[in-house]
């Protein structure tokens, strides 16, 4: 039965060739079989999923009797949700011990919209703690493995979602992208990942990391599937003041490139240190776009080199403020305090955060707190915000010349588990090509374009604000002309 794309599964459900319960049970069985090796999930929700599947099957039976009644677009499709997004009555840990027992009393807006569209939620996927990481090695609950090579990382921080989709444990998934955390794992796992424009998708119910950078986006096997999810979750939300009052996108993916598409190639993204096979795969994909009728032009994003230091000032500063609430008193798990008296409150606060936060989260909190401290605020955080404006202006000027910008997603294929554990800077450099779009608030889509050393290689297209339709149409046209997205890792074939 598996693997299926989201679109093919929905067609099979509507034609009655497959029931939602059968499909959901197959996903749950695959999760159980692969989890010891993959560890893509932190929480499976079989009872909830099967109840939702049975409800979907009843609606499908009624619809077949009377096809004139409207049908939710994703009815009966089993999906996974990154464990930083709230699902009511399902544990949400954010990959951290400080939230190990947190049960949200409400749905995130994106989850509400998926449920209204008929989706089935099979579980919550593993993530770097509070989405801080590029490899899903920072989870307090263990490392997720790349289904293409179990000795390698799946990327991060949405590594659990990417691995689950690549291995066929879910038809699609939601992730979050603060500095590349949807696109980078999509590239490492050979799937499609879309980071929408900042303000296009509600963040209500997303546990905050960097509030001016966070974006929720879909991961799926195909561009068509990612577009179907994006159409459902996008749109203004009165519960999130940062969402923009723009209409929900109406996407028409006909397999053709947008007319007279101009693709920009930024010289700053083809640099020393870029893996030769990654560069070759991306340049070969550019040639495919040219064959499809696109015009390729050189562009410059001159402040790209500032993106990494700017991000690692702004994001930790926002994390320092957002994570201040986890003190064991007002919010989060609490460490037992051995003392009493006047020092008890401070002792409890220090012990809780010391015991319950992991090393990477502590590192970023300290970096952010320092950048915001008296006497240093303007020198660090203030300067970073000014440089961020320059990066945003680079994109705006480039999009006066071209419609989209093409670039690698990562400098290398997926690296070995533990390879960068003792070198935070090397880990941070894995996001060097994805950070600028977050700083600019621009949308980006990653999709597979080949292999290097037997591992998937991804390419990204970035567009102007609210330009997701062009990105999706262009990437879909590429997939109609190629077959990389049909490849599947061996671990995902074990149940076929």
Rounded to whole angstroms, the Cα distance separating 224 from 475 reads 9
Rounded to whole angstroms, the Cα distance separating 410 from 7 reads 28
How crowded is the C-beta side of 59, counted as CA atoms within 13 Å?
A: 22
Nearby residues of 486 by Cβ (< 8 Å), 6 or more positions away: none
Q: How many other C-beta atoms are found inside a 10 Å radius of the C-beta of residue 69?
A: 9
Residue 463, Cβ density class (10 Å: 0-12 exposed, 13-18 middle, ≥19 buried): buried
255: region left, alpha or beta (phi > 0 left; psi from -120 to 50 alpha): left
Task: Give the SS3 label for residue 186.
Answer: helix
% helix / strand / coil in the chain, to the nearest 5? Answer: 45, 15, 45
Q: Tokens 């590239």 appear where?
A: 187
Q: In what order do the strands lie in the sheet with 404-408?
A: 41-44, 120-125, 78-82, 172-176, 216-220, 192-195, 444-452, 455-462, 404-408, 262-266, 295-299
Task: Give the SS3 label for residue 121.
Answer: strand
Active-site entry in 20, 96, 135, 157: 157
Rounded to whole angstroms, the Cα distance separating 187 from 179 reads 14
Active-site entry in 5, 176, 181, 320: 181
How crowded is the C-beta side of 350, counted as CA atoms within 13 Å?
A: 7
Six-digit token string for 414: 């997926």
Whether 157 sits among the annotated catalytic residues: the reply is: yes
How crowded is the C-beta side of 386, counted as CA atoms within 13 Å?
A: 7
CA 355 to chain centroid, in Å, comes to 28
Rounded to whole angstroms, the Cα distance separating 77 from 95 reads 25
Six-digit token string for 334: 């609490």
Active-site entry in 7, 19, 82, 320: 82
Rounded to whole angstroms, the Cα distance separating 295 from 279 reads 19
Whether 19 sits among the annotated catalytic residues: the reply is: no
Q: Helices 223-233 and 6-15 meet at what angle, rounded to 10?
A: 80
Q: Exposure string (b/e) for 253-289, b if CB count within 10 Å is 16 or more?
A: beeebbeebbbbbbebbeeeebbebbbebbeebbeeb
CA 87 to chain centroid, in Å, comes to 17
Residues with active-site annotation: 82, 157, 181
């Amino acid at each position: 039965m598996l693997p299926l794309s989201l679109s093919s599964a929905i067609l099979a459900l509507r034609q009655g060739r497959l029931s939602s319960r059968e499909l959901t049970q197959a996903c749950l069985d695959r999760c159980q079989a692969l989890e010891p090796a993959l560890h893509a999930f932190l929480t499976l929700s079989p009872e909830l999923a099967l109840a939702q599947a049975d409800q979907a099957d009843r609606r499908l039976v009624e619809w077949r009797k009377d096809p004139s009644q409207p049908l939710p677009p994703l009815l009966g499709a089993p999906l996974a949700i990154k464990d930083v997004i709230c699902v009511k009555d399902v544990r949400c840990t954010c990959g951290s011990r400080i939230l190990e027992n947190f049960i949200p009393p409400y749905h995130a807006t994106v989850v509400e919209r998926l449920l209204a569209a008929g989706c089935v939620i099979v579980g919550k996927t593993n993530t770097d703690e509070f989405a801080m990481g590029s490899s899903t090695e920072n989870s307090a609950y263990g490392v997720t493995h790349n289904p293409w090579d179990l000795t390698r990382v799946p990327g991060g921080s949405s590594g659990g979602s990417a691995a689950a989709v690549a291995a066929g444990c879910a038809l699609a998934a939601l992730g979050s992208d603060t500095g590349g955390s949807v696109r980078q794992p999509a590239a490492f796992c050979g799937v499609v990942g879309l980071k929408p424009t900042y303000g296009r998708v509600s963040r209500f119910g997303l546990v905050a990391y960097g509030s001016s950078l966070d974006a929720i986006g879909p991961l799926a096997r195909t561009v068509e599937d990612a577009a179907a999810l994006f159409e459902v979750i996008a749109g203004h939300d009165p519960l999130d003041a940062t969402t923009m009052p723009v209409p929900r996108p109406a996407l028409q993916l006909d397999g053709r490139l947008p007319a007279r598409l101009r693709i920009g190639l930024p010289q700053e993204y083809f640099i020393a240190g870029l893996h030769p096979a990654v560069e070759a795969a991306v340049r070969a994909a550019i040639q495919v776009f040219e064959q499809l009728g696109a015009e390729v032009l050189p562009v410059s994003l001159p402040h790209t080199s500032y993106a990494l230091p700017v991000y690692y000032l702004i994001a930790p500063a926002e994390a320092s403020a957002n994570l201040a609430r986890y003190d064991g008193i007002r919010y989060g798990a609490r460490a037992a305090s051995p003392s009493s008296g006047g020092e008890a409150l401070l002792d409890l606060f220090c012990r809780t955060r010391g015991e319950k936060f992991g090393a990477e989260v502590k590192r970023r909190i300290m970096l952010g707190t320092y950048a915001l401290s008296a006497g240093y605020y303007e020198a660090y955080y203030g300067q970073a915000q000014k440089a961020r404006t320059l990066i945003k202006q680079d994109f705006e000027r480039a999009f006066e010349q071209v419609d989209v910008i093409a670039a690698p997603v990562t400098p290398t294929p997926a690296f070995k588990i533990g390879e960068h554990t003792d070198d935070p800077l090397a880990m941070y450099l894995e996001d060097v090509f994805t950070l600028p779009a977050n700083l600019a608030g621009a949308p980006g889509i990653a999709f597979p374009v080949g292999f290097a050393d037997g591992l998937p290689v991804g390419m990204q297209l970035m567009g102007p604000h609210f330009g997701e339709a062009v990105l999706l149409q262009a990437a879909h046209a590429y997939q109609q002309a190629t077959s990389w997205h049909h490849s599947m890792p061996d671990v995902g074939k074990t149940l076929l």
